Amino acid sequence: MTTVASERPVPRGLLAWAAATDHKRVGVLTGATALVLLLVNGSFALVMRSELAWPGTQIVGLKTYNELFTAHGSGMIYLVVTPLAFALAVYFVPLQVGAAEIAGPRFALLGFWLYVCGAVAMYSGFLTQEGAARFGWTAFPPLSDSTNSPGIGSDLWLLGVCLAVGGMFVLSGCVLATIVRLRAPGMTMLRLPVFCWTMVVTALMTLTTFPVLIVALTLLELDRRGVGVFTSAGGPAAYQHLFWFYGHPVVYVMFFPFVGAMGEVIATFSRRRFFGYHAFVISLLAFAALSMSVWAHHMFTTGQVTNQYFSLTSTLIAIPAGIEYFDLIGTMIGGSILFRTPMLFAIGFLLLFLLGGLSGIMVASPPIDYHVHDSFFVVAHFHYTLFAGSMFAFFAAVYYWFPKVTGAFLREGLGKLHFLFMFVGTNLTFFPMFLLGEKGMPRRVGDYRGSDGFTGLNLLSTIGAFLTAFAIAIFVCNVFVSLWRREPAGADPWEGQTLEWATSSPPPRHNFDALPAVRSFAPLLDVREGKT
Amino acid sequence: MSRPSVVVLVWAGFLVVLGLVLLAWTRSPLMNGLLFGAAAGTVLLALLALRSREPGRRFVPDVSVPTALTAVGIGLAVTGSAVGTWLLLIGSGLAVVGLAGVVRELARA
């Protein structure tokens, strides 16, 4: 161990948390902030779904609806799912590589606060006279220019996104530097746990694509102030290239960390070593590289891109994705599977993400994409990947690592109830959207005609959204109940395989008093099997 | 693959191959520039990883108020560029004070 933390007593109080350099506190702060924002953005979704349950405007006007879907979409991507992924990484990567600290602890703190400032700026648009941004999370010009979207709310949104994305960029640098510089003796790259490997590729994608978005949004802001960047004939398409060069890889930034967490959960609850580790690593690198070269499949219908290339790369992604699925399922085969709550969510992730992934292959084909572009089919597709996929995996990770972070178990009964309602609610919400899209319902609309034939499916989807909200409420109750009446967990309650389980729960400031020898990617399993 | 820089270079290699395939379809400077730019950035990261040495023993403070202050200052300054000069100035001031505090912390360590 090369980096040492202060051995003084851990400071207490609000400031000790707000200005903490301990990666565990920064991770908890980032995760807690993102979870609060999940509730905020989720409540926006409930308002939108209520509005769409029947034809006609009942709850909010169209202007407010546009503000809500912009805040919901951008909030979930920039402020919830990406930060949740980095919260897990900031907390667990140093522990999994056997480090006493994160690399650049001050930078990690800086990243967290930039993220918070970005969130405040984005939402503060609701307090302005002209209202918040209402051009969708993509902010395409000319819709987002100062003529079509006047008002300071849009400027605050643009600058807020830059700050939040900048914060995640800084956090990703810390995570990657930790893996590069602070690994414990014996922890070679090919002995990194699968979660750390997913964070390596996530950080590489973040470091190479997030600056592009910051540049694009800064240029857009300059555009709004009359500089004239995207006002030429090819300007809007140029913006779309810059945006999607960030916008597609970020889908995998919101996916890979959770796949890694699933790898840990599935291996632990199958009582088996992770299957096909080396194939998984290579497929991750290929997957991440391919995902950098598919951005223009979002632009098939613009006629400004080479559809053949982007269709080819988008379809090729199915190969490394298939290898990863194969590894996850292969880990379960022959194992003695324990169906605890984390495992249920992991299996839910495998089933539901498959629907998101397979519908992704469909829209990777330009003819199908022309048919369903900007329809509810696309909304269903990305919600199956980001909510049914990533959020299920996130909850699996929370139930798995909660005992490590707090020293107490989450309640198993409430967890299973949470899973049940969430599984039913998620499918009821998002599956009808495939059918709505196929029937021609456009996305980003706050109303439709009764004669369109969309009412029944929309009502079903709204009922599903409230069931999902109920599931989230159960989770929140579970957290409070479990922290209030604690069931002590001990250092290694699940018989974990990686180094975070080799220290107390919660870990001390300096993470480890002693480390076992690292001879594979599952050092604690080696100890249990007598291989060290 | 046992060294981080090799991993990063392998990934850069993947990007270069994909960029070359894209070249067969289009010579768009923007599209090619994005992909090859990312590859170049990745090579830079690999060089950084190659140069990286194990850090020496160092003191890490439990709490760094100046760091948080710097971030909030940057946030206010950036937001102030839309809200008004007054917020821009307050934010910049906070950021400068925060940075000075960080420098002081580093000098003490």
Structure confidence by residue, pLDDT tens digits, A1-50: 444 445 555 667 888 999 999 999 999 999 999 999 999 999 999 999 99
How much is the average pLDDT of A182-191?
94
Quick one: which of A246, A341, A322, A236 has its CA closest to A291?
Answer: A246
What letter represents residue A109's amino acid?
L
Judged against a pLDDT cut of 80, whether residue A531 lies above it is answered with no
Collapse the DSSP code of A488 into the 3-class scheme (helix H, G, I; strand E, B; otherwise coil) and give the result. Answer: strand
At residue A3, the pLDDT reads 46
Which chain A residues are Cβ-neighbours of B21 within 8 angstroms? 309
Percent of chain A with pLDDT over 90: 95
Position A128 pLDDT exceeds 50? yes
Q: How far is CA A3 from the centre of its chain?
A: 30
pLDDT tens per residue across span A364-373: 999 999 999 9
Range list of β-strands (E), A15-107? none
ipTM above 0.90, yes or no: yes
Q: What is the mean pLDDT of residues B19-40?
A: 95
Structure tokens at B74: 């940057």
Q: Mean pLDDT over residues A487-496, rounded?
A: 96
pTM value is 0.96
Which of B1, B8, B11 is the best residue to mutate to test the A interface, defined by the most A CB atoms within 10 Å of its own CB?
A: B11
Which residues make Cβ contacts (< 8 Å) with residue A383, sequence separation at least 6? A356, A429, A430, A433
- Tell me the CA end-to-end span of chain A in Å, nearest whole number: 20
Show which of residues 30-89 on chain B sit within 8 Å of chain A, judged by CB atoms. 30-31, 34-35, 38, 41-42, 45, 49, 52-65, 67-68, 70-72, 74-76, 78-79, 81-83
Q: Where are the alpha helices (DSSP H) in A182-317?
A: 194-224, 235-247, 249-253, 256-270, 277-291, 307-316
CA distances from A39 to A174, A430, B38 (A): 28, 18, 35
A209, A244 in Cβ contact below 8 A? no
Q: Read off the pLDDT of residues B38-69 as tens digits, 9 standing for 90 and up.
A: 999 999 999 988 877 666 667 778 999 999 99
Decide if pLDDT at A155 tops 60.
yes
**pLDDT computed for residue A49 by the predictor:** 97
Question: For chain A, what percent of residues have pLDDT higher than 70?
Answer: 98
In chain B, residues with a C-beta closer than 8 Å to the C-beta of A290 are: 14, 18
Q: Residue A12: CB partners within 8 Å, gap ≥ 6?
A: none
CA distance A105 to chain B (A): 8
Over the stretch A408-457, which tens digit does the pLDDT of each residue have?
999 999 999 999 999 999 999 999 999 999 999 999 999 999 999 999 99
Residue A330 tokens, joined:
């292969």
Identify residue A286 by its one-letter amino acid code.
A
The span from the CA of A212 to the CA of A83, in Å, is: 18
- A477 pLDDT more than 80: yes
What per-residue confidence (pLDDT) applies to A403?
98
pLDDT in tens, A67-94: 999 999 999 999 999 999 999 999 999 9
- The structure tokens listed for A331 are 């880990």
